Amino acid sequence: MTTGAPIYNAMQQYAAENNLRLHMPGHVGGRGLPEQFRELARLDLTEVPGLDDLHAPVGAIARARELLAVAYGAGESFFLVNGASSGIHALFLSLPEEAVVVVPRNAHHSFFGGMVLSGARPVYLPVQLHPELGTALAVTDRDLAEVLAAQPRVDAVFVTSPSYYGTTCRLAELADLTHHKGALFYVDEAHGGHFPFHPAFPCPALRSGADAAVNGLHKTLPVLNQGGCLHLKQPGSPGDPVGMAYSLLTTTSPSYPILASIDLARQLMMEQGCKLLEKAGSLAARYRDKINDISGLHCYTEEEMRMIPGVDGMDPLKLLISVRGLSIDGHATAVRLRKGYGVQVEAQDAGAILTMMSILHQEDEWEKLYQALRHMTAGFTGSKPKSSPVEIPPQARVVLTPRQAFYAGKIRVPLAQAVDRIAGEMVAAYPPGIPCLLPGEIITEKIYDYLCYLKNSPIRLQGPSQPGLETILVVQS
């Protein structure tokens, strides 16, 4: 039996008993909440008999975890109720003390949190950029081979695939190199939770050789925010460090609505996922072509992305649309789409907009996007002055681990006085989203020159507490 939704069924059964609820949560089934919240709150339950225990499951949650593992081809799977970030943190925390971990330079900031929690020592991988947009898309097996050859010890390699923009890495080759080094291979597959359910979509991480993978299911499936899962290729044993780290980091008051939404989405994908993805993929192919017929726009294809080193495939449901042929930029395009046509995109930057299409979007909604783009762009065709491409940050030199830097005392100094100091905060330009500086790294002359370039450009920055970069936090000497 590989169908059913054990957690959701147990919740419905309990709610039907209509018990006097003398237990958490304090809203007592929804009292005191606005009417529109009450139906959800009716199923906002706690670990009473019949609903199992997330940290020691023997009933509905245990069965649901087994079904989740079957669906994803895992030896063991865990429910994540505080986001994919908690799965990434658990994998870092499961490694040996002061583990050496190879990570891509543009990794999600949860990687930095995982290194602060665990004390891991990062070794950074270069990231391949899109030549026109400057967005970070993949890492190459050639770069990984060079990094591994230069390191006497590596405990794990932890890459991101797919990227935020839907591009996937050559995971099988990366896994082979990692395992040959004797290290573990982990994948942040937050945006790829739908991959296992249709052969035309990119090959999922576990099937490509990953020892563990993390999915942020709420990103691409009908799952409530914060819902995700952590998969292990091989089942853990009692006292397994991943299981212990997971339990240490996970709330003892899990959201049952989040658990149920994961359970129900897994059931949906096992029963109808292939059909839903077939339809969505067909719509994506058709509307990608239609968008490419709109003057001033270009929606990138998988074939184009595969020309970039390291890129192995692309999620067809991510539409990365260049606006470089328009006289307005991506930010203005996104504003006009929302205010004029009721279309909200996932992200935008100077050169492009990104839309995340779902298996649940119907043809009329794809058509709405297309018509909005067609009408909105009509008055803005004609290239704007080309901006200079974002420069690639200089190579960083790590002198303190993220954990050491996190706990170190910090002071704020004028940027001009920061050369040869140790950074106390992150600075990253978007795009490409690659930090030129992370806490614990030396601000060399080259890094200082790059910071001055960012300071005097219109590029959007993330990380610095003083965005104008007049000053910067450094570790107190």
Q: Which pTM does this prediction carry?
A: 0.92
DSSP 3-state assignment of 467?
coil
Nearest partner of 194 among 225, 226, 216, judged by Cα? 216
> What's the pLDDT score for residue 37?
86
Taking only the tens place, the pLDDT of each residue in 27-45 is: 888 888 888 888 888 888 8
CATH architecture label of 278-377: Alpha-Beta Complex (3.90)
Residue 210 CA to residue 202 CA, distance in Å, equals 14
| The one-letter amino acid at 91 | L
> What's the pLDDT score for residue 387?
58
Q: What is the secondary structure of 177-194 as a DSSP string?
A: HHHHTT-EEEEE-GGGTT
Please determine, for residue 431, whether its predicted confidence score (pLDDT) is greater than 80.
no
Domains of the chain by residue range? 278-377, 402-475
> What's the pLDDT score for residue 33?
83
> What's the pLDDT score for residue 389?
56
Cis peptide before 385 (omega within 30 of 0): no
Kindly state which CATH superfamily the domain 402-475 is placed in: Orn/Lys/Arg decarboxylase, C-terminal domain (3.90.100.10)
DSSP 3-state assignment of 414?
strand
> What's the pLDDT score for residue 275?
98
Q: How confident is the model at residue 278 (pLDDT cuts 50, 70, 90)?
A: very high
* Residue in the structure block whose two tokens are 């990687």: 111
Taking only the tens place, the pLDDT of each residue in 226-252 is: 999 999 999 987 779 999 999 999 999
